[in-house]
């Protein structure tokens, strides 16, 4: 049998950890690095090799999956004193999975290319359960030759691969479009459920009606089902859509477009963050609005 291909993974939280677990389940060799040693140990129990630095996680890997929070973390992982570029072999691919600004993706892609590495702009959507079972979406922007080289890895991670373009940065743009709509939909769902509560309506019944009617959205149903139970244990923190909606509005302005709803959603998530809800599940928008 063919020897398992080796993949490095830096940032193995909810999404990165689920992706690494999926690769391990299907026989890939995975080298993991994260500042949270508990998360590394959980994957070690599944067969991953723990690594102290991104450079170590990248050593001997045909590709490196980066799944951190923001561009600053991604830059440190890639180019810091113990960054992945000090361990990657020439020609290795780097999957950039965080939701970050398109210009940051473009800058990383240029800097990686100068060092002989291939950037794969690969933002994701779907949550940890879908990452673990391979049903999440991946939005992939890279040169065709790079995609073909790493097709097996990309398609192992996701059964819903969207080839956006050959230009790194376009994956990030697509993800920001999606996430801004998610923020708008979630803000709307939280608002109408808070309104229904103030009107004295039964919330589970109201949500059941919405779920089967024209107001339905996946994120609204998913989050408000938890919110009306008072469950704000974080699956996706408020801080993530707070960041993403801000980045999306900035990207829209850079393209010469400004709509009415994006800034409103951005401001709502900023308000939630300012209210001390940033580390709760983003269902906490209902908590914010129901107390208004």
pLDDT digits (tens, 9 = 90+) for 6-42: 999 999 999 999 999 999 999 999 999 999 999 999 9
Identify the pLDDT of residue 1. Answer: 35
CATH of residue 109: 3.40.50.720
Parent domain of 283: 173-290
**Residue where a domain terminates, one of 105, 134, 167:** 167
* H helices present in the chain, as ranges: 14-25, 37-44, 54-58, 71-79, 102-114, 128-133, 144-149, 151-157, 170-198, 203-211, 218-227, 238-254, 261-272, 285-290
Whole-number Å distance between alpha carbons of 289 and 43: 38
Whole-number Å distance between alpha carbons of 266 and 98: 19
Identify the pLDDT of residue 127. Answer: 86
The residues, ordered by sequence, that sit 6+ positions from 222 with a Cβ below 8 Å of its Cβ are none
Verify that 90 and 119 share a domain, yes or no.
yes
Q: Answer yes or no: is 1 within a domain.
A: no
Please list the ranges in the chain whose pLDDT falls under 50.
1-3
CATH of residue 278: 1.10.1040.10
Identify the pLDDT of residue 200. Answer: 98
Q: Could you give the count of Cα atoms lying within 13 Å of 122 in the half-sphere of its Cβ? A: 30
Tell me the pTM. Answer: 0.92
Choose, from 25, 39, 160, 175, the residue flagged as catalytic: 175
Verify that 145 and 250 share a domain, yes or no.
no
Verify that 248 and 137 share a domain, yes or no.
no
Identify whether the C-beta of residue 13 lies closer than 8 Å to the C-beta of residue 67. yes
Verify that 200 and 261 share a domain, yes or no.
yes
Verify that 89 and 212 share a domain, yes or no.
no
Q: Answer yes or no: is 100 within a domain.
A: yes
Catalytic (active site) residue 243:
no
**Residue where a domain terminates, one of 125, 151, 167:** 167
Strand partners, 6: 29
């Amino acid at each position: 049998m063919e020897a398992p291909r080796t993949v490095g993974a830096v940032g193995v939280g909810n999404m990165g950890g689920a992706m690494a677990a999926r690769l391990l389940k299907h026989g890939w060799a995975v080298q993991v690095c994260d500042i949270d040693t508990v998360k590394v140990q959980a994957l070690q129990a599944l067969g991953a090799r723990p690594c102290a630095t991104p450079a170590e996680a990248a050593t001997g890997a045909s590709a490196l999956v980066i799944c951190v929070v923001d561009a600053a973390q991604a830059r440190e992982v890639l180019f810091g004193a113990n960054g992945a570029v000090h361990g990657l072999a020439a020609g290795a691919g780097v999957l950039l999975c965080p939701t970050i600004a398109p210009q940051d993706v473009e800058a990383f892609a240029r800097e990686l290319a100068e060092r002989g590495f291939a950037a794969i702009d690969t933002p994701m959507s779907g949550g940890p359960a879908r990452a673990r079972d391979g049903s999440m979406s991946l939005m992939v922007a890279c040169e065709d030759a790079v995609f073909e080289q790493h097709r097996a890895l990309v398609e192992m991670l996701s059964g819903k691969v969207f080839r956006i373009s050959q230009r790194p940065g376009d994956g990030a743009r697509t993800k920001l479009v999606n996430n801004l709509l998610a923020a708008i939909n979630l803000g709307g769902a939280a608002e109408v459920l808070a309104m229904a509560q103030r009107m004295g309506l039964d919330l589970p019944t109201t949500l059941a009606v919405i779920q089967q009617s024209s107001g339905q959205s996946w994120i609204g149903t998913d989050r408000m089902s938890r919110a009306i139970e008072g469950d704000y244990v974080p699956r996706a923190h408020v801080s993530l859509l707070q960041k993403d909606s801000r980045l999306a509005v900035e990207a829209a302005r850079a393209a010469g477009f400004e709509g009415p709803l994006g800034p409103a959603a951005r401001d709502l998530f900023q308000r939630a963050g300012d209210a001390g809800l940033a580390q709760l599940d983003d269902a906490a928008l209902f908590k914010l609005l129901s107390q208004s």
